[in-house]
Structure 1
């Protein structure tokens, strides 16, 4: 099977939006991106990201903050966008994704405020103390076929991702979580499509939740997710490191870093999520 390309892949087809009128887009949320009970939050962010890229004069997401209001389900959806501000190098917009209740009324699922720019136009000066995560080579990491049966419910998204987890962060899979709240691994799309700024919105929310390594299994619904896209990723696999330092009041944070094959920090995120009850 030939490798999928940017613009011609399952991810691109399943995040496509169709303009109905200015600022109103139709979408079809695919069941292929569900895990346990819900449509993945990073996939939803990519759907909204496409609509905002069409609305705003700048092409690339730079900072995207999303509030998850109600759980999304596979099926039709409507995205409504609005331009908030347009500048010479950055523009800001907002978007909401709606689905339909049984009585036909619209239910807002997710609301986003985002700033877009042109990643190719950013200065190339880098001053950083950040270092790529130390992860064993992919052949020494563990894929989905190496673990136990998935959690109850849909795990369709797993078939669309190529994730190889650092063995040091998969104790949860054999009933021996480390308690450290860390998750690290290699990430790619299963069809070989290379990463781009839009797919990074999926990447930051695609690994198993760090709560698994805290001994809490089950759905970890996102309350809020802010993602920063730092530069256009090079072709090839990504390395993702996620940490949680504080679980309190039934909520935990997840701080993610995404590094590309050229050892550049290409995306960062912070997520607030509800801790599983397990």
Structure 2
């Protein structure tokens, strides 16, 4: 495992050190309360549109500027139309402002069309009761070194700009689809972190659950897998270090599939859970 160089962790040209912070920046319009201008970066585009996890993180950051509570606890995005890189606006609305929870909506609008519609409830992760009672256990992963040696992404993925925004070391048991040998279990697991050295936080968790290859690939399906709806529950603030991301599909039917996700931090805590509904790709492996 190589350490990041000084160049890799240097500030971006506009002075913002980290890409996710730079590319989720929104500027409020002084003459239009609740409306913020932004630019959807081409660095987060994949396939036929901009990545849904990045869009969710951008909308969540914008919504957070309107709410009194700092952290998304539960947030749901619907994607009625594909987004493209370029100028956009985010329109936010506060639905309820309580003492411990606040709820609001955010819409990413481009060319007069709603690209993403988000509803979120925010609170303060640092104020949560520290007691944990759970039967959930972290997934068993090979070591970072073993995954780095045997779980490399295919070259076609590495050529995509979005895949350079994070480091992904796939569990070798869930990467055989890349050589035409899908397991049929519908599972993808990986060690994950942002490539520029940014520590994980709630916004990064929203991105992480939608950053790996689609689990449809492990079912023997290939092609575009557009997200219809994505819900993320943020359960705790992650500590610095690699995250373990585990995604699984159990039911592909009627042209749609679900994808359940878990994210575990370096302290072995379950910090995020997700559920996604997506269109299944039409192409199947031979």
TM-score band, normalised by the shorter chain? over 0.9
Which runs of at least 4 in structure 1 moved beyond 2 Å after TM superposition?
A: 1-5, 142-149
Which string of whole-angstrom CA distances, capped at 9 and with x for unpartnered residues, describes residues 19-72 of structure 1? 113200001000001112210000000110111110000010000011111000
| 2:76 counterpart residue number | 65
2:16 is the counterpart of 1:10: no
2:161 aligned to 148, 156, 160, which one? Answer: 156
| 1:256 counterpart residue number | 261
1:122 aligned to 128, 145, 163, which one? Answer: 128
Which string of whole-angstrom CA distances, capped at 9 and with x for unpartnered residues, describes residues 160-203 of structure 1? 11000000001110011001000101000111111001111101
Contiguous gaps of at least 5 residues in structure 2: none
Give 1:147 deviation, angstroms: 4.0
**TM-score normalised by structure 1 residue count:** 0.94
Distance 1:143 1:190 in 2: 18
Distance 1:184 1:114 in 2: 27
2:59 is the counterpart of 1:75: no
1:50 aligned to 61, 64, 85, which one? Answer: 61
Contiguous gaps of at least 5 residues in structure 1: 101-105
Contact in 1 for aligned 2:153/2:170 (Cα 8 Å): no
Distance 2:63 2:75 in 1: 10
| 1:173 counterpart residue number | 178
1:133 aligned to 130, 139, 142, which one? Answer: 139
Change (3 A) 1:147 1:119: closer
Distance 2:198 2:10 in 1: 5
2:45 is the counterpart of 1:34: yes
CA-based RMSD:
1.7
Contact in 1 for aligned 2:152/2:170 (Cα 8 Å): no
Give 1:146 deviation, angstroms: 3.4
Distance 2:251 2:91 in 1: 35
